Structure 1
Amino acid sequence: MRALSFAEYGPANVLEVADVPEPHAGPGHIRVAVRASGLTPADCLLRSGRLRDMTPLRLPHVLGVDAAGVVDEVGAGVTGVRPGDEVFGIVDLAELGGANAEYAVLAAWALKPDALSWEQAGGAAANVETATRVLDRLEVGAGTTLLIEGAAGGVGTVAVQLAVACGATVIGTASARNHEFVAGLGAIPATYGQGLGERVAALAPNGVDAVLDCAGSGSLPDLVDLTAGPERVVTIADLGAAKYGVHLSRSAGPGADRQAVDGLAAAAVLAQQSRFTVPVAAAFTIEDAAQAHRLSETGHARGKIVLTL
């Protein structure tokens, strides 16, 4: 089968569409014929080698952790899904990849809602799991005032909607050109950067209860100052979080948080209720994946970058 892989660490041009053996669904898993799959910033970090000490890979490595497609194999012990069903989901996250391919084995999934296109569903699962995991850790619920740093990105756009759906007030930082977009998701937009504390104070006179940092832009000291302490801040993007006493949330590897795969079905329900969508920044064919990786590395993609098969 065709799969997006790299045999050496490096820039986006090390990517290639290679012919690799098809995977098959083992116990508790399903296999899908992929229609679309997501690209995450972590994929770029893995490919570049920046994470090689933290998460060494066996090369060549097939990228991608989430996908949407049509079920064609059901492993032993799996119930509630059968061949022909349309689903979206994530791979075994300990594998760190495998979804940017013609066939992918999913470890967690939900039925694809009609309200989401293949591209939207293909880019949904990893961001939903991440956002749900962090919102659960921060105990975000009705009455919470949550600040999301980097609200226009893939995880940020999802986290805004999930937090609003559970009754939170959300302030989302973004560049001025993305304020209308962020407001359309349900957040109160604010410009990131110097003076953020004053701007947030004006928007939330009673203070901020929790912060999710999706940007990793070096703003953690300022974000901690906006809350009761570093324990009320979680980052998914700043690898230097520990020196500020901030938790870096990861879904796999040493010190990983509990995976929040229950969020997939919840997001599907919200989508059918027109309360959740997946903004797609751009969709590329798998053959144009290097261009997709370069766009991701700019840090300016508005929403999720998706690869189609």
Structure 2
Amino acid sequence: MIWKDIKADFSRYLKFERALSTNSIDAYLNDVSKFQIYCEDNALTLEKLGPRNIQKFLMYINEFNISPFTQSRILSGLKAFFAFLMIEHNLKSNPIELIEAPRIPRKIPTVLNILEIEQLLAAIDLSTDEGMRNKAIIETLYGCGLRVSELTGLKCSNLFLDVEFIKVEGKGNKERLVPVGAQAIKFLKMYLNDIRVHIPVKPGQEDFVFLNRRGSALSRVMVFYIIKDLAAKAGIEKPISPHTFRHSFASHLVEGGADLRAVQDMLGHESITTTEIYTHIDKEYLQSVITQFHPRS
């Protein structure tokens, strides 16, 4: 098997059969390329690989101080790769089938409290067009719990503000309906009706909600920059990103007593175990109350 041809086939498989996003496909191919380098350096062919070879590869990447999370992701990518080889290239045995991923300690994500959210929103200069757009961005991120890619890919045709819902295209091109709150609706309408209508939109970008000054869809990198800049202006020292608003959205709902299944649906999580991390955030808060106020703590 020729690596170049195999990876090209794998890329098409991920795109058309698995319907993965471009970012996910790039990540899978990057993991396979790491394995390719190891195989070529050790004169290994795909047809003759066994579980011991996979274990040695994992030991090899561990020497570079790669985190357990990254190791687990690489292993997941290789499992998809070998499953593809079994289906499409008649690989006789799967050397990775019984290999277990390293245990990953579950980390409590960084969240902003209500006061910090208000501080960040107050740092936005609403006297400028960009400020009005950024206000709509933050309100939408926090009000709907979107991933940054879902925000930048949000379409005008998927806004149903009259019934307080938006349609989101999530991972794997899966669509879901997400309720949108009053503040997000208010500033989305102000941005769309007062700011966006005056932007000369580039051909092919007409349906994207959030645009830059040149009329193109806002990039993920630009959203990161906007949030970092606002955090600095608001004096927030926590390491935050667009995903922080998604975490804050979920944790505030769970702390307020929202049903975990409903939060799972809104976030677009395939497994409720992913959503359950936000119950741990709540427990951390309760523990802090005990520590601060209980006389025996």
Query: Quick check: TM above 0.5?
Result: no
Q: TM-score, normalised by structure 2?
A: 0.30
Query: Greater relative contact order: 1 or 2 (C-alpha under 8 angstroms, separation 6 or more)?
Result: 1
Structure 1 or 2: more strand by fraction: 1
- Please give the TM-score of this superposition, normalised by the length of structure 1: 0.30
* Structure number with higher helix proportion: 2
**Structure whose CA Rg is larger:** 2
